[in-house]
Structure 1
Amino acid sequence: MRLKLLILGIFCCLFQLNAQEYFPKNDGVTNPNTNFTVFKNARIHVDPQTVIESGMFSIQNGKIKAVGKNINVPENSIVIDLEGKEVYPSFIDLYSDFGIEKLKRAEGGSSPQYDASREGFYWNDHIRPDIDAISNFNFDDKEAEKLQKAGFGVVNTHVPDGIIRGSGMLVALTPDAMEGDRILNERSGQYLSFDKSVLSRQSYPTSIMGAMALLRQTYMDAQWYANGNADNKDLALEALNKNKNLLQIFATDNLLDEFRADKVGDEFGIQYVILGSGNEYQRLDKVKSSGATYIVPLKFPDAYDVENPYMAEYISLAEMKQWNQAPANLKMLAEKAIPFTLTTHSLDAEKDFKTNLLKAIEYGLSKEDALAALTTVPAKTIGKSAELGAIKTGAWANFIITSGDYFEKETTLYENWVQGKKKVLSNMDVTNITGEYDLNLKGESYELSITGEPSSPKAEVKTDDKKLGTKISFSDNWMNLLISSPDSTKTEFIRLVAHVPDLSENISGKAFMPDGSETSFTATKKAKSDTAEKKDKEEEEKKDKEKPEILPVTFPNSAYGFKQLPKQENVLFKNATVWTSEDDGVLENTDVLVKNGMISKVGKDLNAGGAKVIDATGKHLTAGIIDEHSHLAASAINEAGQNSSAEVQMEDVIDPSDMGIYRDLAGGVTTIQLLHGSANPIGGRSAILKLKWGETPENMIFEQAPPFIKFALGENVKQANWGGGVRFPQTRMGVEQVFTDYFSRAKTYEKKKNNGDKDFRKDLEMETLVEIMNGDRFVSSHSYIQSEINMLMKVAEKFGFNINTFTHILEGYKVADIMKEHGVGASTFSDWWAYKYEVNDAIPYNASIMNEVGITVAINSDDGEMSRRLNQEAAKSIKYGGMSEEDAWKMVTINPAKLLHVDDLVGSIKTGKQADLVLWNNHPLSIYAIPEKTMIEGVVYFDIEKDKAMREEIKKERNELISDMLKAKNSGVKTQPVKKKEEQKVHCNLLEEVH
């Protein structure tokens, strides 16, 4: 009796287990199927380096349980035979906004917003570390299928909004699953960018340098807050501190921004993972030195439509080279062992991803590196190597099944399994009937070619080299083939029907003729002959020949770029007319010896001592021209979001690819002060640069130069010419009050800092103003009107400092005596006048009058075009004011050097100074003078003979690239139209907007 009860109990238990597995409870929860699924006879890509031929693996409960050549097959296994098929780990995308609804831009009209709109959060709306993806996520089956079709099983998604964007989440693209089961990590990383939030209209920042300054200040404030110094709760700073140990992913969209992001990270000990631009190949050494892992979009520029030769002239060589070189970017990254992953960001994953991936492989990326970038590298980067990126015991059962090598065009992706759940993308049980056949029908012979996907084939029938109209369908191993009659005078069709057994090499079946009669047909598959293989090889070779030859990368990667950066040389200039810009004046038939980047000797009959000798007989040698006021080589000019932007620095936005640099070198300019614009009374910090064409931004910085800052007066700062701004100040009285208010705050700030007050918070803006008051940073001020010039000198004296330079200062002649007493220098235009109301009193004698009073006077450009002919601008003061030639020349050499406090290093030809020199073919103040060589620290960055050779090479490269683009268009490749672009003229009032 007891035995019967025991058996009954066991039966009931088994029934309950089965009932729980197959019949849902009232709450809808079911137990998972615990059966094993075993896959056998597959070519298994365990990881990028490991392949198992005819291998096996098993999965259970969404995980891989075993993998190998032979594995144990449990009794309760479902076995799937993958004979002839290949298996890869599913792919991982680390940069996505999958499942996040697109945000709507904040409304509120055109008026700018200056204060934050969120209470209890940081003072700037664009800092949003408190936002998390999981609160904004909804699984999107339609978008998931697009990613699954591209081979992806996991994405790292986030809310793409703001400068600090909050935390992302790692999501499995599991079909038919509970949303909670798909979440692999609800806090997978923190995302950042240089773009503002669309949810706020807050003005600041308006520039990339403002965004960088805001990031720096936010990081410092977060540390200050973490130390318990704040009186009020700040939810944004709390979130930022909570997120600091997460993976930090920084989104950029151009190469310079990639380096800028890395720069900020380095300053705070943060190693960002960087969403790149695809242009990393242009500066591989710098990319590698960043130590970052790069997430690279698989997006390449389209060829330009260059059929119209006149429109083709508007495409720069840099744009043409980018089209030519970008597809090789991934190959170059791999060769440099720079870790990178791939993303579908900015692509239609279903249509473009594999096409572009195969293009990258065609351009040299190995299949192993491609697979690593899609699997093991992102898994390692996200800290999930044990669970993702490989087919190994214990990992999630995330894999794709393909008809062959995934990285071949014709390969079909059959299934994408995520967490052990199958997504069928194409039926892999369909018999593959593709191939070349001899078709025999009623005694007639035809050629039948079947191509395309096995589940949706395409057919072509030919007889006597004549193509016949053809339509094919294939389902459940039944083929229906419709062929138009060979007699083109009749609209008649032949219908073929056949059942094709699995693995059959031949096809046979019924044929229904146009007259209604029935007959049989056979289609015998052709063996691939040596001729066919030779033809395939020829087609591959033809394809390789049609592929554009990759042009070498130059520095910068544009016209006139160097294939190799020039090196320092020891040079002896013989028998030159030397303009010393010193008390020695102009020396005839004099030698200048340059050694190790310095001026070693100046004199007659000098010994070369192994140096390269340049015969300068009949030529003029001068110090390099110095432009005290320039906006060349910058990605941004103004940070206009606030009336003081003392926290921003022009060093952050140096653009070494600006063609103005090369043009300036061709005009004899070697040093510039890159100034902030005049959008606000207190502008940003200057960058003093050596124009080292081809170098990186940091290598262009004049390291020994002291720090400067830009101030501004007049119409621009009160927004008189900008369409009715509403930001304070709106009047000249208000401009004075801005200075007074900010320096008063700076005094209070400094007192707190020195006293060690508990509530002291480091403020980048205030730190800069304190430097000014203490004489550690010099002021160059945009100025025009006599009254404002006087005002700023009085404000400076009130707070214990002097203005270093008044730039523009077109009414300087009115107040030259007071300027002399204050100790301020002048950097002016030669003869600009009447371009706005506040310059109506300008006179061309201004420079000469101030010079006679004893003020240090320089001629500046504030203009990319004028900058390269400052020698001619200086000459105008000989005509207007009777200035001597030597004094005129000093206004573009030693005088600006004095204003920049670098006159002990540059600005004149003197033993012991840096060898920044220009060799002219004529009198340097002549309109006919042309620089033949421009040297910086003993390196020749401009050589007129090399320039001529480069011009010919540029023509050749343009012609080759235009020819390649025409071939691309004729082969059916998508092209983009040429758009006429006007070169932007950069001045003080240029505004940029961070999107």
Structure 2
Amino acid sequence: MKKILTIAACLALGAGHVMAQETFPRNGVYDERSGLVALTNATIHTDYKTTISNATLLIRNGKVEAVGTGVKVPAGAVTIDAKGKHIYPGLVDMFTGYGMPEVKSERGGWGSPPQMESKKQGAYSWNQAIKPETNAVELFKVDKKQAEEMRKLGFGTVLAVHRDGIARGTATLVTLADNKRENEVVVLDKAAGALSFDKGSSTQDYPNSLMGSIALLRQTYLDAQWNTQNPSREQNISLTAFTAANKYPQIFEVDSKLDILRADKVGDEFGKQYIIKGGGDEYQMIKEIKASNAPIILSLNFPDAYNVEDPFDARRVPLEAMKHWEMAPANAALLNKAGVTIAFTASDLKDKKDFLPNLRKAIQYGLSEEEALKALTATPAKLLNADSKVGSLNKGMLANFIVTSGNLFAADNIILENWVQGSQYKISEVPSDYRGVYTLKMPQQPDRKLMISGTAERPELKVIGKDTVSGKITFNGNLVTLSFNKDKKSKESIRLSGWLQDKNLQGEGQLPDASTVKWTATFSEAMSQKAKSDSTKVAKAPQLGNIIYPFRAYGQNELPKQETILIKNATVWTNEKEGKLENADVLIKNGKIAKVGKNLTENGAKIVDGTGKHVTPGIIDEHSHIALNGVNEGTQSVTAEVRMADVVNSDDINIYRQLAGGVTTSQLLHGSANPIGGQSAIIKLRWGKSPEELMVENADGFIKFALGENVKQSNRNNANIRFPQSRMGVEQVFVDAFQRAKEYEQSWKTYNSLSKREKSKTPAPRRDLELDALVEILNDKRFITCHSYVQSEINMLMQVADEMGFKVNTFTHILEGYKVADKMKERGIGGSTFSDWWAYKMEVKDAIPQNAGLMNQLGVVTAINSDDAEMARRLNQEAAKSVKYAGVSEEDALKMVTLNPAKLLHLDDRMGSIKAGKDADVVLWNDNPLSIYAKPLKTFVDGIAYYDLERDEQMREELEKERMRLIQAMLNAKTGGARTQAPAMRRASVVHCEDVEHNEEESYFAH
């Protein structure tokens, strides 16, 4: 048999090489053999749902010529008897770095000057992270070591992606034959376009944030469209290549479930349905992932259990990390059950040997074998439009297949061979089966019985003499080694090595006293062995915990629902002309405040006793940075194109914590790293909802401007070169930006005024997302919130606004607001300030705690904001400080964190007061809301109790029980031999105005 296999391999290798190499001359004779091979008597799985028993697979010149039970083997074919073996289509991995050069970045360290412009020479994109001109097929090189590693897993075809940049160009589909030239293994030279949010090796400063990456990708789509439609376009290799790459399937690599939603949103904007290479946590947002319609490429990189033996170490592991460890293996099954198209990749595995065991684990956790095989063959082939070449074993397709000892997914299965383009690659040999009962004899030792059981691949040893002891035995071909203790009480071991002679074993060994002996083990009978199974018969998956929303501490199995609520006999702070009502009732119905008054009744309403309690509108934070993955795109002085809505992190625990402080709405602002920052996101704190569901519906658009030390980078190192470097430079940035915006707007007005015929001859202006946002400001469609401190700069921006024809909506921080309140009042500009911050940097040295009270007294709409995740939990107390310092009435003080910020956000018709018809964003307090002893008992958003103190106390108990359950499961896993990892240090997720680092999501998920 071995001789026949070797001949077959030679024929296959020679034939495939010659037939595909017609354009290459050879220094020598040509071998014209046909490579005709027949594998007979096998169980052949022609595709994921079709199995033929006792069948023949006939291949010629590296392709399938016939398959089935009635296949006639032609004369001259090399025949291989594959009786008892299984044949499967070669597996397809549609996301690898196979054959690609290593991606290296040469970014400077801290203190290096920023690189403002691209260093790439030629007519390419202005940004180094945009490199769609990259064609992986031009970089590809056959890599024997990588090819062998992947073939051992069963793969025959892989998509090679150059994982560098945001727009990565095209990926190439290649086989894993390593006995051929590059041009012979390419199945599709351009099989897919590749995208990501990662700038890769780019040393250019922009973008430095996730929102910047998203904005850059958006602008690239627009620029590519403009470049194509404009006959007098600039010559731009990158934009031309980007357009060309868009005709292929688009594979978008992301790190997390939220990034899937972000990518899908961009795709929807430009009519692209992405295939998403995910991060492994998709099961946590199945509803949203399903709605994206994106096929998901899944890694099988499951996290190791945490080493939680030390209780202090255990406290460092957050609940979501523990639950992800438990549930990650069920990811594929849960997605498949929900109807999401899935494919598998081995790309993220640190050790590729984990691929098949983890695949079997995914099956153990509920994925069917048929769906697993589909995800490894037919699905990737179809998604890449290569299903006529790979993914099944039909006539005319590439002869890519694997030969296995049994069912591919069985734990004891062995991949014996991997055939790629008709070339045979030996993977493993079927181990000889030495299992049975033997009589062991050694001089001056009592006879013992050896019982060798287990599987042929993993034999187990028991030695029966005076005592029965377990031992270790290893076979390597005809060689054997074994060891066992002398008896149960003794720790002294007998070690033997030898070889197989017919059915018997013999050799030499060493006794505990170091003496050497000769030994024999005579075969007496076969062990009673179960027949090798053709199904996995995997162990039942452990009982899993529940998926909670959001997937972290204080998430819930089911989100709270809207109810009809009647709060009775409370002190109601209406913020309306009625003022503060004693012993009053508030009816909440259908998410709205239905009635406010006394002695209210409502059939079916849930009654909440408000006796001795206070009801207020929900607190509104005009200036917040919670729930964001990154706060600053500070690489350019104007980044109006970036959007905070793109980077909302709905899992941020600060949402829940602030609900516990009575906050119901927050404006999520860009930071203060540049004069003109990004577009705001206004969210309601709907804990457990997706980022899109947090957004306040139909809210006006806002944008962050900034003045002062941060924008001129006073505290940056001397290597900084970004304009502006002075306060007068900041003024010039504003003037220049709005002048460009006016000219841009006029260019569109001129174009839109043309007739249809004239437009056909005139190129449209280039869409510019940065200038679009500024034009919205000029047209009162987007409103400015400006970070500010110093009187002179505040005056400067008001003057620039007057001259350039735009308005400032709000000055935030504005600790010198008391100096300019009259001018603000005159222009209708509001102020959102801190209550009593001062002296934390030079430009706040004139701050006073009476600031808010003085602005309010002069008629400026005044709010108290947080700019800090911790402070937002006690904004009620921050508001109360104006009562103390400035004599502001209690009701006016409360308005500074409710009605007034609602006015500043143009939402006062919907929230900020207790009035019939407004959103039921309501807080029930145990005490006067301005008291330091006050705490919310219930916080309603849209009539839904997203925070309830009693439920919170119950959840704390449940949380500890869940943690203990998971800790015990990890301890059991470690005891069972599972790998463990040390608990990682957690980075704080709180961000502030001046933070310039990309606030990554916590890295507990194994990506």
Q: Which of these residues, 283, 286, 301, is aligned with residue 285 of structure 2?
A: 283
Instruction: Report whether the alignment pairs 1:734 with 2:729.
Output: yes
CA distance in 1, matches of 2:675, 2:491: 85
In the alignment, structure 1 residue 524 sits paired with structure 2 residue 525: yes
The one of 145, 152, 156 aligned to 1:153: 156
Which residue identity is paired with 1:769?
L
Contact map agreement 1:439 1:524 (CA 8 A) in 2: no
- C-alpha separation between the residues in 2 aligned to 1:515 and 1:802? 97
Question: Larger deviation: 772-781 or 348-357?
Answer: 348-357
Work out whether residues 447 and 463 of structure 1, in 8 Å CA contact, stay in contact via their aligned partners in 2: no
Q: Does 1:74 align with 2:77?
A: no
SS at match of 2:45: strand
Matched, 1:435 2:435: yes
Sequence identity percentage: 48
| CA shift in 2, pair 1:120/1:483, >3 Å | closer
Query: Could you tell me which residue of structure 2 aligns to residue 866 of structure 1?
Result: 871
Deviation at 1:552, TM superposition (A): 0.5
Tell whether 2:586 aligns with 1:592. Answer: yes
Task: Report what 2:106 is aligned to.
Answer: 106
Give the match's secondary structure for 1:869.
helix
Do the aligned partners of 1:188 and 1:382 also contact (CA within 8 Å) in 2?
Answer: yes
2:305 corresponding residue in structure 1: 303
| Residue 551 to residue 216, structure 1, CA distance change in 2 (3 Å) | same
1:605 aligns with 2:596: no
Is the aligned partner of 1:218 residue 2:220?
yes
1:956 paired with 2:950, answer: no
- Please show how residues 791-870 of structure 1 align to structure 2 within 5 Å: 791-870=796-875
CA contact (8 A) 2:436 2:523 kept: no
Q: Deviations over 1:227-284 (max 9, x none)?
A: 1254431000111111111111001111111111111001000011100011010011
What CA distance in whole angstroms lies between the structure 2 residues aligned with 1:889 and 1:484? 79
SS of structure 1 residue aligned to 2:966: helix
CA distance in 1 between counterparts of 2:927 and 2:485 reads 84
After superposing the two structures, state which structure 1 stretch, 678-687 or 957-966, moved more.
Answer: 957-966
Mean alpha-carbon deviation: is it higher for 140-149 or for 347-356? Answer: 347-356
Measure how far apart 1:160 and its partner are: 0.9
Deviations 1:744-788 (A, max 9, x none): 111111111111173621100001101101111110000000000
CA displacement at 1:937 relative to structure 2: 1.2
CA distance in 2, matches of 1:71, 1:879: 95
Tell whether 2:240 aligns with 1:238: yes
Q: Give the structure 1 partner of residue 400 of structure 2.
A: 398
Structure 1 length-normalised TM? 0.92
Distance 1:573 1:171, change over 3 A: same
The whole-number CA distance in structure 2 between the counterparts of 1:129 and 1:68 is: 44
Q: Which amino acid aligns with 2:634?
A: A
What residue in structure 1 maps to residue 6 of structure 2? none
1:947-993 CA deviation, whole Å, 9 max, x = no partner?
A: 11111100100111111111122222111112332524321011124
Distance change >3 Å, CA 79–CA 898, structure 1 → 2: same
Q: Residue 34 of structure 2 corresponds to which residue in structure 1?
A: 34
- The answer to whether the 8 A contact 2:306-2:980 is kept is yes
Q: Deviations over 1:320-356 (max 9, x none)?
A: 1111111111110111121111111121464221122
> Does the 8 Å contact 1:153/1:417 carry over to 2?
yes
Say whether 1:781 aligns with 2:786: yes
Q: Give the Cα–Cα distance (whole angstroms) in 2 for the partners of residues 262 and 494 of structure 1.
A: 62
Question: What does 1:912-923 align with in structure 2 at a 5 Å threshold?
Answer: 912-923=917-928
Partner of 1:57: 57
Alpha-carbon spacing, 1:902–1:108, altered in 2? closer, same or farther (3 Å): closer
Report how far residue 718 of structure 1 moved. 0.8
- Tell me which residue corresponds to 1:447: 450
**Corresponding residue for 2:166?**
163
Contact 2:398–2:422, Cα closer than 8 Å, also in 1: yes
Which residue identity does 1:287 align to in structure 2? I
Preserved CA contact (<8 Å) 1:646 1:769: yes
Query: Which residue number in structure 2 is paired with residue 752 of structure 1?
Result: 747
Decide which moves more: 724-733 or 837-846: 724-733
Matches within 5 A, 1:127-526: 127-198=130-201, 200-348=202-350, 350-428=352-430, 432-439=432-439, 441=441, 444-449=447-452, 461-467=463-469, 473-475=475-477, 478=478, 497-500=499-502, 507-508=503-504, 521-526=522-527
Find the partner of 2:615 among 612, 621, 631: 621
Provide the aligned C-alpha RMSD in A: 2.8
The residue type equivalent to 1:846 in the other structure is: N
**CA distance in 1 between partners of 2:101 and 2:960 (Å):** 48
Contact 1:412 1:453 in 2 (8 A): no
Letter in 2 for 1:935: F
Runs of 4+ deviating beyond 3 Å: 24-32, 438-445, 450-454, 456-475, 478-500, 508-520
Q: Distance in 1 between matches of 2:950 and 2:407?
A: 53
Residue type of the alignment partner of 2:268: D
Q: Quick one: distance in 1 between partners of 2:99 and 2:967?
A: 42
Aligned-pair distance for 1:563? Answer: 0.9
Q: Distance in 2 between matches of 1:672 and 1:350?
A: 45
1:688 aligned residue (682, 692, 695): 682
Secondary structure, in 3 states, of the residue corresponding to 2:188?
Answer: strand
**Map 1:543-562 → 2, pairs under 5 A:** 544=540, 548-562=542-556
**TM-score, normalised with respect to structure 2:** 0.91
2:229 and 2:763 in contact (8 A); partners too: no
CA distance in 2, matches of 1:28, 1:196: 48
User: Which position in structure 2 is the counterpart of 1:124?
Assistant: 127
* C-alpha displacement of 1:944: 1.1
**SS at 2:792 equivalent:** helix
Question: Cα offset for 1:814?
Answer: 0.9
List per-residue Cα deviations over 1:499-554 (Å, max 9, x = no partner).
45xxxxxx247678999989882242112389x99xxx9x999x65xx65311001
User: What is the distance in 2 between the residues matched to 1:625 and 1:26?
Assistant: 80
Contact 1:230/1:759 (CA < 8 Å) preserved in 2? no
Cα pair 2:448 2:464 within 8 Å, conserved: no
- 1:423 aligned counterpart, secondary structure: strand
Structure 1 stretches lacking a partner, 5+ long: 1-16, 501-506
The structural deviation recorded for 1:107 is 5.6
- Secondary structure in structure 2 of the residue aligned to 1:566: coil
Counterpart-to-counterpart distance in 2, 1:928 and 1:630: 24
SS in 2 for 1:911: coil
Partners of 1:975 and 1:245 lie apart in 2 by 44
Looking at structure 1, the residues matched to 255 and 885 of structure 2 have their Cα atoms a distance apart, in angstroms, of 49
Tell whether the 8 Å contact from 1:678 to 1:717 is kept in structure 2 after alignment: yes
Q: What letter matches 2:192 in structure 1?
A: G
Letter in 2 for 1:417: W
- Report the secondary structure of 1:864's partner residue: coil
Q: Out of 654, 658, 671, which is 1:660 matched to? A: 654
Structure 2: gaps spanning 5 or more residues: 1-14, 510-514, 752-761, 1001-1007
Show the counterpart of 2:892. 887
- Shift in alpha-carbon separation, 1:229–1:461, aligned structure 2, 3 A: farther
Q: Larger deviation: 646-655 or 84-93?
A: 84-93
SS at structure 1 position matched to 2:807: coil
Query: Residues 628 and 515 of structure 1: is their aligned pair in 2 closer, same or farther, counting only changes over 3 Å?
Result: closer
Give how far 1:566 is off.
1.7
Residues 445, 55 of structure 1: alpha-carbon distance in 2 compared, 3 angstrom cutoff: farther
Aligned to 1:989: 994
1:679-735 alpha-carbon deviations (Å, 9 max, x no partner):
100000001111100001111111131100000000111111233432111111111
Alpha-carbon spacing, 1:887–1:32, altered in 2? closer, same or farther (3 Å): farther
Contact 2:626/2:990, CA 8 A, preserved across alignment: no
**TM superposition shift of 1:112:** 1.0
How many angstroms does 1:603 deviate by?
A: 1.3
The 1:394–1:950 alpha-carbon spacing in structure 2 relative to 1, beyond 3 Å, is same
What SS does the aligned partner of 2:746 have? Answer: helix
- The alpha carbon displacement at 1:178 in A equals 2.8
CA shift digits 1:268-321 (9 cap, x unpaired)? 000111000110100111111111111111111111111111222121111111
Residue-pair matches, total? 956
Cα separation, 1, equivalents of 2:416 and 2:806? 75
